[in-house]
Structure 1
Amino acid sequence: MSATVAGPPGRTGDDPDRAGSAAPAAAPAQPERRTRRRILGAQPLGILFSAPYLVFVILVFAWPIVFAVWMSFQDYFFAAPGADVERPFVGFENYVEVLTDPDVWQSFGNVGVFLLINVPLTVVLSIVLATALNSVVHARTFFRVSYYVPYVTASVAVVAVWLFLFSSNGLVNNVLGPLAPQPSWLINSALAMPTIALFVTWKGLGFYILLYLAALQNVPKELYESVSTDGGGRIRQFFSVTVPGVRPATLLVVLLSTITGANLFTEPYLLTGGGGPNGASTSPVLLIYQRGIEQGNPDVAAAIGVILILFVLVIAWLQRRFVGGDET
């Protein structure tokens, strides 16, 4: 005598019609859910919380960039509010004017010199000082605040101190005596932009130190102990553990300092009286202000701005490629 054992629902031995009809009913829900998750993300509620900042980015960054690109292809000029004026399409005429202007090339060369000094100096000083501050036991808060104060101090106030230090009769020249450069720092064509680069490096150092301090908290202490056990000293620990451990922070510091340097405006405008001497410290953003506001050519200024954006994107891509590596 044989007995038929019934298996649990959904296994072999169930009604084939019922088993076959259950699978197609659930199938369409999976692609739909996958598509919704791809668009809205794992937590759709996050879109609601990020919406105000998204609107801010669109209004303050995205829309001005789109408008600048459109303006750069027009014969654009300022007019009274409500005035109906014709602004014809001129194609690449503004870009031809910009690319044949020696002042534009000089401004990009100036900011190139600035970045070559500012970015490496910022990275090296920030990571070294952050490592030193991370090992400080006493008065740690005092030292961290001391480095951060210049960053949050208004540029106008700090510029007055640097003018006092680096003017022709300033403290630095009085200390150097006969070794002081002639002409002085900020009115010397060869030294104006390097001096500005040193100023910007000093002023922004506190912010980048904080970024490295945050990154150092994620470096495992066991790695330092392992290197120490193998006989490695502080220098070997720094290059074998610290530098690789904060590599993502280094990429961030490089990108942020590059973007900040490319947008240089306040420092040359205040320190050298508008980009002097003879345009030796003029930055592209300062030139945009001069062409667009002072000279009334916003279409040419917009073309300079678009070229500057492309310049920064290329530099950022190269930095990501060679600094970030495959890990980023």
Structure 2
Amino acid sequence: MRSRGPLGRILGEHPVGTAFVTPYVVFLAAVFAYPLGFAVYMSFHDYFFAAPGAIVDRPFVGFDNYVTVLSDPAVRRAFGNVLVFLVINVPLTVVLSLLLANALNAAIRWRTFFRVSYYVPYVTASVAVVGVWLFLFNSNGLVNSVLGPLAPDPSWLVNSSLAMPTVAIYVTWKQLGFFILLYLAALQNVSKDLYEAASMDGAGRWKSFLNVTVPGVRPATTLVVLLATVTGANLFTEPYLLTGGGGPDGASASPVLIMYQRGIEQGNPDVGSAIGVLLVIGVLLLALIERRFVGKEES
């Protein structure tokens, strides 16, 4: 008897699940797959905006748009800025969210209050939160007042060396509550028996944390790293609002911000699409590396 393929087995064994999943698959195809495919099409053509209904010629140009993108110093700097952002943001996010989640998982007073407090910045509108950070980090802000003569000159958000690190710290703080919740959920699956066994072997809190907690939440850590990486790759709102569109000489510009400037503000959607395609490829490569890492750890 001929065996059915994976799709046939899914349709045959899980018809109800397939019925529920199908609308979401259609939604993904309409909202993500089609725009991505159209972006790839635009990146290989001399594409430009035209009046609705107008018949225009948009010739195939091969990799010309990609050559333009890769030879643009602003684009190269934007991708470099994202690497700086990720080097700061991802380790901070993993370490702080895990430590805080571990503390909040303990039986402490006001635990619910602290859990809600850490989550508030994540659900607060970025425009409102950015206003607070602009007050804190401007030249006459609270941070410089506390630092006194140690304050940088020029100030944080207009300093070409400090603009992107400041943005990275802001994003880490704002999204910390979400990742704390992920770790809190993962900590519920770590067996209490493991902690008791570690305690009987003479392990203190720190050794129990390193030898029981950290390995126990490794899948959650991989998810946090992946989500934080994707967040960094899609950075737009934060540098746009905090540094007025990229900071001094593009010090905090991100690929998505450059894509918006080239594609929308300057009217070159073909170049903007090429930037977007390169960004998607980079994110997919990072996701593939993470998946292989997870498979290796689980095995």
- The two structures share one fold, judged by TM-score above 0.5: yes
Task: Identify if the C-alpha distance between structure 1 residues 286 and 324 changes in structure 2 by more than 3 Å, giving closer, same or farther.
Answer: farther
1:177 pairs, out of 116, 137, 148, with 148
1:216 pairs, out of 178, 187, 197, with 187
**1:258 lines up with 2:229 in the alignment:** yes
The residue identity in structure 1 corresponding to 2:137 is F
1: CA distance, partners of 2:95 / 2:81? 22
- Kept in 2, the 8 Å contact 1:148–1:207? The answer is yes
2: CA distance, partners of 1:325 / 1:135? 31
- Kept in 1, the 8 Å contact 2:10–2:18? The answer is no
| The structure with more helix, counted as a fraction of residues | 2
1: CA distance, partners of 2:153 / 2:106? 42
1:162 aligns with: 133
The residue identity in structure 2 corresponding to 1:201 is T
Residue 54 of structure 1: CA displacement? 1.4
C-alpha distance after superposition, 1:74-125 (max 9, x if no partner): 0000111111111110001101111111111000000000000000100000
- Kept in 2, the 8 Å contact 1:114–1:193? The answer is yes
Structure with larger Rg: 1
3-state DSSP class of the match of 2:298?
Answer: coil
Residue 323 of structure 1: CA displacement? 6.1
Higher mean C-alpha displacement, 74-83 vs 184-193: 74-83
1:192 pairs, out of 156, 163, 169, with 163
1:296 aligns with: 267
2: CA distance, partners of 1:50 / 1:302? 30
C-alpha distance after superposition, 1:185-244 (max 9, x if no partner): 000000000000000000000000000000000000000000000000000110000000
1: CA distance, partners of 2:128 / 2:155? 21
Q: How does 1:89-108 map to 2 (within 5 A)?
A: 89-108=60-79
The residue identity in structure 1 corresponding to 2:75 is V
2:91 aligns with: 120
Task: Identify if the C-alpha distance between structure 1 residues 324 and 201 changes in structure 2 by more than 3 Å, giving closer, same or farther.
Answer: farther
Q: How does 1:240-259 map to 2 (within 5 A)?
A: 240-259=211-230
Higher mean C-alpha displacement, 137-146 vs 291-300: 137-146
1:152 aligns with: 123
- Kept in 1, the 8 Å contact 2:66–2:271? The answer is yes
1: CA distance, partners of 2:205 / 2:149? 40
Q: How does 1:1-328 map to 2 (within 5 A)?
A: 28=1, 31=3, 37-40=8-11, 42-322=13-293, 325-327=296-298
Residue 58 of structure 1: CA displacement? 1.0
3-state DSSP class of the match of 1:31?
Answer: coil
RCO higher in 1 or 2 (8 Å CA, sep ≥ 6)?
A: 2
- Kept in 2, the 8 Å contact 1:247–1:324? The answer is no
Identity of aligned residues (%): 71
How many matched pairs?
A: 299
C-alpha distance after superposition, 1:125-162 (max 9, x if no partner): 01100000000332221110000000000000000000
2: CA distance, partners of 1:294 / 1:36? 44
The residue identity in structure 1 corresponding to 2:47 is Y
Residue 318 of structure 1: CA displacement? 2.8
The residue identity in structure 2 corresponding to 1:112 is L
Alignment TM-score, normalising by the size of structure 2: 0.96
2: CA distance, partners of 1:79 / 1:51? 35
- Kept in 1, the 8 Å contact 2:219–2:294? The answer is no
Residue 36 of structure 1: CA displacement? 6.5
Task: Identify if the C-alpha distance between structure 1 residues 186 and 35 changes in structure 2 by more than 3 Å, giving closer, same or farther.
Answer: closer
Alignment TM-score, normalising by the size of structure 1: 0.88
Higher mean C-alpha displacement, 305-314 vs 163-172: 305-314
3-state DSSP class of the match of 1:88?
Answer: coil
3-state DSSP class of the match of 2:249?
Answer: coil
